[in-house]
Amino acid sequence: MRLLAFETSCDETSAAVIGNNRILSNVISSQIEVHSEYGGVVPELATREHLRNLKSVVSEALTKASCDIDDVTAVGATQGPGLPTALMVGWKAAQAFAYSIDKPLIGVNHVVAHLYSPWFSEDQKGKYLDHVEPNISLIVSGGHTMLVKVNGALNHELMGQTKDDAAGECFDKTAKLLGLSYPGGPEIDKFAKGGNPKAYDFARPMLNQENDDFSFSGLKTSVKYFLEKNSSVLFNDDQLPDLCASIQAAIVEVLLVKAMRAAMRTNSKCITISGGVARNSYLRSEFKRECRDRDIVLKIAVPDLCTDNAAMIGLLANLMYEKGDFSNKPDDDIKPNWNIN
Ligand code: KG4
Ligand code: ZN
C-alpha cells in the first residue's frame, strides 16, 4: 500500500506518502513569510503559492519515500473545509493524478484528519498509526475549536464547537493588538514565558455554561478594551510577558475546564488534543497536570503534526480506504464548508 496525500486547505502546501499506516514522507512548504506582512492569510496569495509549490512538494514527498508514481495505490486529498481556491489547487491536482494512474481518490475532511492525528506513535522506523481508543477530543486550530466524542477509528460525534472565533484566531487577533507578528499563537507562547498568568484578568467566555460550546470573540474584545484604556502598557516592554501570559491563561483555562467537564460527564478515561494551538507549551503542561491528577490518559499530537500537514490527511485516507468508506466519482468537487457531522 502506498498512498499519496495532498493538503492545500489554507497556507501550507503539503504532500505525504503513507505506507500501511506509517508515514514514509511528509513534506510541508509553509507560506508564513508571504502572509505575515498582511497579518493573516490572503486567499489569492495562498492559491498562487500552492500553484507555485505543489509540483515540487509532491516530487520531494515521492522521492523521500522512495516511491515511484507506478507504486502509488491510492490518492488522498483534503476536500474541505478550507479556503475554496486554495482547496481547489490540491483537490484538482490529486484528482488528475489519480485518474491518470487509474487509482482511487479519497476525499478527506481536514478537521477529521486533525482529530485522529494524536494516534501517530513513534518507533525506531518512524511514525505509525496506533489503535484508536475511545476518547474525548479537543481540536484547536486557527479555524476550528471543537469537542468531539470518539468511539473508535472513523466513529465520532461532534459535542460542541465555537460560536464565533476559534482559539487560534483568538491568539492571532490578540497578538496583533499587542503589535506582535503573524501567526500570533507562537509569539504569545514565546513572550508568555516568564510572565505572570494572573497579572491581568481577561474574560473567560462561556466558561460557566454547562454545554460543550465555546466563544472567543468576547476575550478578544476584553483585551481590546483593556488596551484602549491602558495604552501605556503597549509602550512598556516589561509588561509584554504578563499580558501574553494572562491572555494565554484565559484561552487555556476555557479549553481545559470544558474538555475536563466533557470527559467527566461521559466517563471518558482518555483525552486527545490536535490542531495548531495544541503546540502551545502552557496548554500542553496544564492538560498534562490536570489529566495526571484525574487519572486520565492524555494524547497530544506530536508538535510537527499539530499544524497543517499531509501526513494526517494520508492517515485518514488510509483508514477510509481500508474500510471502503469513500466515494470516487469523477465530478466530486471541493467542500469548503464541510461540517464534521
Ligand atoms: O492547525 P493549523 O495549522 O491551521 C488550521 O487548520 O487552522 O493552526 C494554526 C493556528 C494559528 O492560529 C496559530 O497561531 C496557532 O495554530 N498556533 C499556536 C501555536 N502554534 C501555532 N497557538 C498557540 N501557541 C502556539 N505555540
Ligand atoms: Zn488545520
Whether 262 and 273 have beta carbons less than 8 Å apart is answered as no
pLDDT of residue 40: 83
pLDDT of residue 198: 97
pLDDT of residue 33: 87
Q: Is 186 in the pocket of ligand 1 (CB under 6 A)?
A: yes
The label of the residue with cell 499587542 reads 178
pLDDT score of 148 more than 90:
yes
199 or 233, higher pLDDT: 199
Give the chain as a 3 state SS string: CCEEEEECCCCEEEEEEEECCEEEEEEEEECHHHHHCCCCCCHHHHHHHHHHHHHHHHHHHHHHCCCCHHHCCEEEEEEECCCHHHHHHHHHHHHHHHHHCCCCEEEEEHHHHHHHHHHEEEECCEEEECCCCCEEEEEECCCCEEEEEEEECCEEEEEEEECCCCHHHHHHHHHHHCCCCCCHHHHHHHHHCCCCCCCCCCCCCCCCCCCCCECCHHHHHHHHHHHHHCHHHHHCHHHHHHHHHHHHHHHHHHHHHHHHHHHHHCCCCEEEEECHHHHCHHHHHHHHHHHHHHCCEEEECCHHHCCCCHHHHHHHHHHHHHHCCCCCCCCCCCCCCCCCC
Q: Is 80 in the pocket of ligand 1 (CB under 6 A)?
A: no
User: pLDDT digits over 86-128, tens only?
Assistant: 999 999 999 999 999 999 999 999 999 999 999 999 999 999 9
Q: How far is the CA of 76 from the centre of ligand 1 (A)?
A: 23
pLDDT score of 237 more than 90:
no
Atom from ligand 1 closest to the CA of residue 12:
3
Residue 222 is placed in which grid cell? Answer: 476584553
- Amino acid of residue 341: N
Residues 143, 308: Cα–Cα separation, whole Å? 11
Alpha-carbon dihedral angle through residues 276, 277, 281, 284, given to the nearest 10 degrees:
-100
Ligand at minimal distance from the CA of 312 is: 2
Q: Is 172 in the pocket of ligand 1 (CB under 6 A)?
A: yes
Mean pLDDT computed over every residue of the chain: 95
Atom from ligand 1 closest to the CA of residue 9:
6
Ligand at minimal distance from the CA of 113 is: 2
Ligand at minimal distance from the CA of 277 is: 1
| Among candidate residues 212, 23, 4, 27, the one with its CA nearest the CA of residue 119 | 23
Q: How far is the CA of 63 from the centre of ligand 2 (A)?
A: 25
Q: How far is the CA of 182 from the centre of ligand 1 (A)?
A: 10
Phi/psi at 74 (5° precision)? -160, 160
Nearest-CA residue for atom 22 of ligand 1: 185
Nearest-CA residue for atom 23 of ligand 1: 185
User: pLDDT digits over 49-92, tens only?
Assistant: 999 999 999 999 999 999 999 999 999 999 999 999 999 999 99
Q: Is 305 in the pocket of ligand 1 (CB under 6 A)?
A: no
Q: Is 314 in the pocket of ligand 1 (CB under 6 A)?
A: no
Mutate to test the pocket of ligand 1, among 172, 193, 307 (most ligand atoms within 8 A of CB): 307
Q: Is 117 in the pocket of ligand 1 (CB under 6 A)?
A: no
Q: Is 183 in the pocket of ligand 1 (CB under 6 A)?
A: yes
Quick check: pTM over 0.85? yes
pLDDT of residue 89: 98
Q: What is the side-by-side order of every strand in the sheet holding 155-161?
A: 155-161, 145-152, 135-140, 270-274, 297-300
The label of the residue with cell 487509482 reads 103
User: pLDDT digits over 266-288, tens only?
Assistant: 999 999 999 999 999 999 999 99
Q: Is 141 in the pocket of ligand 1 (CB under 6 A)?
A: yes
Nearest-CA residue for atom 20 of ligand 1: 186
